[in-house]
DNA sequence: ACTTTTTCT
């Protein structure tokens, strides 16, 4: 830790004033001085950015903020009344308190306090069951007493559900109502109040707040939890906060909490911040490897599961596979095998128990997801076959055996062809450990890895590649620019993305008009950053009023920002396809989505109607949520909510043209035999079989490029090539388009237009001269008249 | 020629 960390509080206060004499200035000079001014509470930038003065009376008397001990806090926790509310502690509180005192982290409370009191940043490493997520924020609360000077402590989580459930737990632990002293803030749900001093929130939510207040001045401390997840949001937050701590908030405390043994990397990144290691509390898991590599992991997984079922003591099994189809298939086969095993068992031999095979993946409707918590059948066992959702997001108690084939679907981004795709790839060692750990939550367990130990050591990466290196950065770059980070190349990423990926993002934003050639955020870019969607979508929304289709664009963008609404159960594919055809629009999938949403509202959002039509009511509900949020943003930034006349022929043209203004970079032109070629990079692609496009459209725009058994374009709508010249003239300058039929088309249209324009110009020019002549004549007459008038007056 | 992973604003 640097010299700064050892300074006294007085020096810190001095620092605050010298480094930032006028906080308003810092704010105004940032690039996000948008039309939508920050709300007044957010403008309340504290001139006194340091700790509150030591209270001389009241329940906290005797504590010196930033210098307390565990003993002092524990005495108050053990007291009669809750110092934060004044109310007497409940019995339930005391019961929970007793359990909290047994958590591994409790033993290190003083050690933690000592570290954070002498260092601005601390890295904390703790496995599951250590209690770090619930306790550390409370320890800080008792030490910094942020409520005494109107500040808060934030603890960020990568996932919404975690933020919400941990907040609820901690509210109980502190004997307060959720939303009062302890609250949470996630998209669509702000459960906080002016009383809130401890706030759990998603990383994305804190990033949004940072856009309005670059200094995050409401917070006395920020805790980044689950940092090992390395989500894009976590990574950006770490970069921002590191910089903020060093430059503008020397008083801000930062704790980075991580689960894996990768803490040294975090430590190094945070300028050798001190590290606290907290042991976890889980049961031991015995790990087994296969002696030889398995040629087919699905076969091996089924074989292994059956073997466990037949030979191992009671206990449920968790099998990790990669996707929906694979999982459903595996479940069917496991059921079959188990039945066969039971019917074939010899009379004298013990009969193996029944096997309950339950699938688990995110798109599963909630009531089916609930089935993973069903009890195993009498005398038998339960197998949960899951995607990596069971790795971190969902915990199933009672799992004793884990089958880990070592694969998951992972997003990869290829900046050269600007395509994100999902690939079945080997997992990392960290992920493998995480999977194994799922067997030891309630008692000692076993993990069967379907690969060799040598392969684990040699082939698996220690950590999963951070998402930042596997994703399209369009939206992230826009956000960073809006956060006032001008110099992206030198932004302190923990793992810097490939320069080509950054280039692609800047190029995209430039084509969309969000940034200038020099990389400066434009007014359009500032507006775009206000919308919680990718830049192509926000561009569509901003352009919508010009095309008189704000309402329609809101619906389409919302529908494209939730998971697929169309259900297609394996045993009812035909019926589902027929139901979907009812919503089809001849010009493409985007307009079909519009039809679906209208029908959904028209049928009073009825869940029964949804299922009868093979639509997912849950996704439609969230589409409505997204739509409401987006429309609020539009109103806030002053974009009119207008709609065209649906009975006019031009109505759908306007909508399609508006979509083209956002997605003009994703356009393909038909070839023979149902093939298409993408216009800018000459990729051969096929319409995804799910498309409802009825015409043989020559030109189409698409939403997604998917690589599965083939190159497909998904969610496709027919467009007119001429629109491309209107919405992106420089991008579609025929000279810039690769040679081929697409370029020929564009060149022909451009030429026809040029000729037409020349004729029009000449006509206009003639008309103008005629008009001018006429005007001059009239002016002349008027002057004559006036002149005569004057003469007449003079005569009088 | 024949179909989707996870999460967040």
Instruction: Check whether residue A187 has its CB closer than 7 Å to nucleic acid strand B.
Output: yes
The number of CA neighbours under 13 Å toward the Cβ of A462 is 6
Task: Name the β-bridge partners of A675.
Answer: A686
What pLDDT shows up at residue A42?
39
Give the pLDDT means over successive 10-residue stretches in chain A (796 positions): 35 32 33 38 45 87 91 94 94 95 94 95 90 95 92 94 93 95 93 95 94 93 94 94 94 91 88 93 91 90 92 93 90 89 73 88 84 88 92 86 93 83 88 91 92 92 90 92 88 92 92 93 94 94 95 95 89 88 90 94 92 90 93 94 88 94 93 86 87 85 86 91 91 87 90 89 79 73 59 44
Give the 3-state secondary structure of residue A457. helix
Burial classification of residue A346, based on how many CB atoms lie within 10 Å of its CB (0-12 exposed, 13-18 middle, 19 or more buried): exposed
Collapsing DSSP to helix, strand or coil, A37 comes out as coil
Residues 200-229 of A with CB under 7 A from strand B: 202, 204-205, 207-208
**Residue closest to B5, CA→C1'?**
A409
Q: What are phi and psi of A585, to 5 degrees?
A: -130, 140
Give residue numbers, 673 to 732 of A, with CB < 7 Å from strand B. 673-674, 686, 688-690, 706, 708-710, 712, 714
Instruction: Indicate the pairing of strand A675-678 with strand A684-687.
Output: antiparallel
Which pairing describes strands A152-157 and A198-202: parallel, antiparallel, or unpaired?
parallel
A422 CA from B5 C1′ (Å) = 8
Query: CA-to-C1' distance for A467 and B3, Å?
Result: 26
Helices (H) and strands (E) in chain A, counts: 29, 21
Q: Which residue is nearest to nucleotide B9 (CA to C1')?
A: A532
Residue A591 pLDDT: 93
Q: pTM for the full model?
A: 0.84
Which has the closest alpha carbon to A413: A460, A331, A455, A473? A473
A window 654-673: Cβ near strand B (< 7 A): 673
pLDDT at A33 (0 to 100): 36
CA of A568 to C1' of B3 (A): 10
Q: Which residue is nearest to nucleotide B2 (CA to C1')?
A: A689
Close Cβ partners of A82 (under 8 Å, ≥ 6 residues apart): A88, A89, A93, A174, A175, A176
Checking each nucleotide's C1' against the CA of A322, the nearest proves to be B5
Which nucleotides of strand B come closer than 7 angstroms to any CB of the protein? 1-9
Q: 3-state class of A552 per DSSP?
A: helix
Q: For A421 and B6, how far is CA from C1' in angstroms?
A: 13
- Counting every residue, how long is chain A? 796
Across all strands, nucleotide nearest A573 (CA–C1'): B3
Q: What is the pLDDT of residue A511?
A: 93
Can you list the domains of chain A with their CATH numbers? 70-278 (3.40.50.300), 285-344+351-469 (3.40.50.300)
What is the CA A306 to C1' B2 distance in angstroms? 33
- A696 CA → B7 C1’, Å: 36
* Strand duo A445-449 + A667-670: pairing: unpaired
Of chain A residues 361-390, which have a beta carbon within 7 Å of strand B? 361-363, 387-389
DSSP A373-420: GSPPPTTSEEEEEE-THHHHT---TTEEEEEE-SEEEEEEEETTTTEE
> Using CA atoms, how far apart are residues A722 and A752, in angstroms rounded to an integer?
11
């Amino acid at each position: 830790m640097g010299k700064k960390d050892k300074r006294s509080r007085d020096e810190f206060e001095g620092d605050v004033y010298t480094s930032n004499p006028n906080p308003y200035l810092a704010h105004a000079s940032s690039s996000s001085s948008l039309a939508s001014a920050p709300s007044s509470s957010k403008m309340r930038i504290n001139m006194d950015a340091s700790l509150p003065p030591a209270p001389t009376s009241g329940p906290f008397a005797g504590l010196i903020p930033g210098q307390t001990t565990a003993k002092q806090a524990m005495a108050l926790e053990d007291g009669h009344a809750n110092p934060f509310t004044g109310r007497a502690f409940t019995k339930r509180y005391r019961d929970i308190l007793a359990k909290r005192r047994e958590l591994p982290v409790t033993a290190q409370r003083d050690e933690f306090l000592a570290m954070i009191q002498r260092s601005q940043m601390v890295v904390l490493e703790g496995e599951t069951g250590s209690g770090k997520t619930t306790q550390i924020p409370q320890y800080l609360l008792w030490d910094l007493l942020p409520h005494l000077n109107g500040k808060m402590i934030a603890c960020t989580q990568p996932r919404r559900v975690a933020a919400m459930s941990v907040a609820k737990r901690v509210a109980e632990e502190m004997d307060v109502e959720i939303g009062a002293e302890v609250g949470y803030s996630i998209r669509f749900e702000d459960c906080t109040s002016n009383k809130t001093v401890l706030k759990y929130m998603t990383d994305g939510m804190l990033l949004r707040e940072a856009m309005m207040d670059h200094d995050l001045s409401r917070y006395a401390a920020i805790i980044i939890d689950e940092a090992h997840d390395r989500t894009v949001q976590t990574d950006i937050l770490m970069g921002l906060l590191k910089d903020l701590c060093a430059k503008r908030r020397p008083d801000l405390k930062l704790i980075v909490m991580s689960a894996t043994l990768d803490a040294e990397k975090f430590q190094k990144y945070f300028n050798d911040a001190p590290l606290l290691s907290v042991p976890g509390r889980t049961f031991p898991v015995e790990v087994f490897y296969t002696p030889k590599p398995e040629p087919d992991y699905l076969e091996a997984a089924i074989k292994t599961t059956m073997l466990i079922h037949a030979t191992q003591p009671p206990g449920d099994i968790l099998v990790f596979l990669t996707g929906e189809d694979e999982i459903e298939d595996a479940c069917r086969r496991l059921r079959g095998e188990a039945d066969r095993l039971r019917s074939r068992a010899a009379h004298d031999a013990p009969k193996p128990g029944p096997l309950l095979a339950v699938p688990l993946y995110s798109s599963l409707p909630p009531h089916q997801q609930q089935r993973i918590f069903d009890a195993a059948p009498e005398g038998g066992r339960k197998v949960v076959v899951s995607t990596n959702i069971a790795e971190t997001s969902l915990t199933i108690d009672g799992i004793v055996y884990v089958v880990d084939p070592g694969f998951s679907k992972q997003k990869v981004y290829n900046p050269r062809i600007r395509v994100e795709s999902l690939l079945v790839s080997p997992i990392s060692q960290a992920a493998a450990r995480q999977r194994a750990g799922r067997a030891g939550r309630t008692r000692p367990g076993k993990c069967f890895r379907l690969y060799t130990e040598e392969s684990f050591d040699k082939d698996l990466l220690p950590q999963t590649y951070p998402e930042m290196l596997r994703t399209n950065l369009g939206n992230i770059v826009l956000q960073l620019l809006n956060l006032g980070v001008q110099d992206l190349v030198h932004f302190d990423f923990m793992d810097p993305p490939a320069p080509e990926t950054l280039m692609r993002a800047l190029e995209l934003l430039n084509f969309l008009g969000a940034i200038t050639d020099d990389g400066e955020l434009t007014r359009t870019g500032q507006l775009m950053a206000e919308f919680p969607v990718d830049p192509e979508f926000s561009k569509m929304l901003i352009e919508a009023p010009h095309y008189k289709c704000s309402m329609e664009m809101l619906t389409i963008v919302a529908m494209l920002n939730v998971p697929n609404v169309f259900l297609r159960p394996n045993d009812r594919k035909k019926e589902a396809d027929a139901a979907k055809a009812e919503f089809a629009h001849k010009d493409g999938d985007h307009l079909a989505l519009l039809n679906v949403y209208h029908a959904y509202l028209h049928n009073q959002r009825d869940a029964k109607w949804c299922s009868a039509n093979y639509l997912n009511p849950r996704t439609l509900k969230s589409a409505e949520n997204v739509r409401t949020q987006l429309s609020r943003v539009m109103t806030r930034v002053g974009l009119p909510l207008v709609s065209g006349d649906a009975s006019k022929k031009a109505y759908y043209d306007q909508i399609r043209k508006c979509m083209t203004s956002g997605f003009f970079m994703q356009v393909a032109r038909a070839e023979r035999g149902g093939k298409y070629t993408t216009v800018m990079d000459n990729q051969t692609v096929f319409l995804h079989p799910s498309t409802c496009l009825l015409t043989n459209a020559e030109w189409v725009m698409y939403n997604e490029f998917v690589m599965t058994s083939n190159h497909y374009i998904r969610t496709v709508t027919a467009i007119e090539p001429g629109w491309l010249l209107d919405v992106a003239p420089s991008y579609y300058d025929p000279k810039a388009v690769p040679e081929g039929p697409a370029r020929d088309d564009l060149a022909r249209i451009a030429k026809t237009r040029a000729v037409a324009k020349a004729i029009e110009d000449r006509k206009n020019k003639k008309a103008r001269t005629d008009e001018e002549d006429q005007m001059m004549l009239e002016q002349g007459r008027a002057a004559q008249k006036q002149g005569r008038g004057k003469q007449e007056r003079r005569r009088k």
